[in-house]
Amino acid sequence: MEEKLTRLNKFLSEAGYCSRRAADKLIEAGRVTINGVVPEMGTKVTETDVVEVDGKEIKGKDNAFVYLAFNKPVGIVCTTDTRVEKDNIIDFIKYPKRIFPIGRLDKPSEGLIFLTDDGDIVNKILRASNNHEKEYIVTVDKPISQTFIEHMSKGIYLEELDKTTKKCEVEKLGTHEFKIILTQGLNRQIRRMCEYLNYEVETLKRVRIMNIKLDVPVGKYREFTKTELTELTRLLEDSTKTFLSKTPPKQSRR
């Protein structure tokens, strides 16, 4: 397989170091090296080359992305609009780099949500046709019947959205608690489904997205492991690749 080649000025620009024009000036001034050697203008680099400016290594775009698994508390809003919403996820985490959430959990819900600066992975995960699994643990206000489980799993027509939910896996865990695995992301889907059957959601926690499980305390986050990211990439490989979008797409919530 041929190695991917990228012009040096483009590499520096996509890494967020400077514009291409500024990169050309740095290269011309001899301040940029590739594997310790000062390159000529127009030189291309591979993913394995070490690029430095004034002796400081510059990581390429593929290495620079941030992928976080965060356990969102109840009361935090999944928005990047920090001016309008004071209890927003960005101010809560205070991550030193610009990131945005993948999808949403509504304010009364808690659990796993991803944050990243990789717009490509956002698009792939949110695309409903990809059928990516999301698992939730839900408690409701009255005992769960077998009829409730059957209706939830077979699909429910939500008049306010004019959509019927896809068939899904639903399992009773206790008198008032059940597990549900969704492959679509309709607005407040689980709450609306329960309301249709005259149940009210008391707690809703997302515990898994695809291959990544919730394993950090409420209000804490961690980076994806290398194994998780490799497997996630494999699961997403059939999706169309559209590299880093500067603006995250419109997102749905539960």
Listed residue (5, 50, 12, 49) closest to 28, CA to CA? 12
Separation CA 165–CA 188 (nearest Å): 12
Report the candidate in 210, 18, 195 with the shortest Cα–Cα distance to residue 130: 210
For 16, 121, 166, 170, 234, the CA distances from 230, given in Å and listed in that order, are: 24, 13, 28, 28, 6
Helices (runs of H) and strands (runs of E) counted in the chain:
8, 16
Work out whether the CA dihedral 114, 239, 193, 143 comes out positive or negative: negative
The 3-class SS string of 185-248 reads CCCCHHHHHHHHCCCCEEEEEEEEECCEECCCCCCCEEECCHHHHHHHHHHCCCCCCCCCCCCC
Q: Residues near 243 by Cβ (< 8 Å), separated by ≥ 6?
A: 61, 119, 120
Catalytic residue positions?
106
Q: Which residue has the tokens 């986050």?
A: 221
End-to-end Cα separation, the chain, in angstroms = 42
Beta bridge partners of 45: 6
The contacts of residue 123 (CB under 8 Å, 6+ apart) are 239, 242, 245, 249
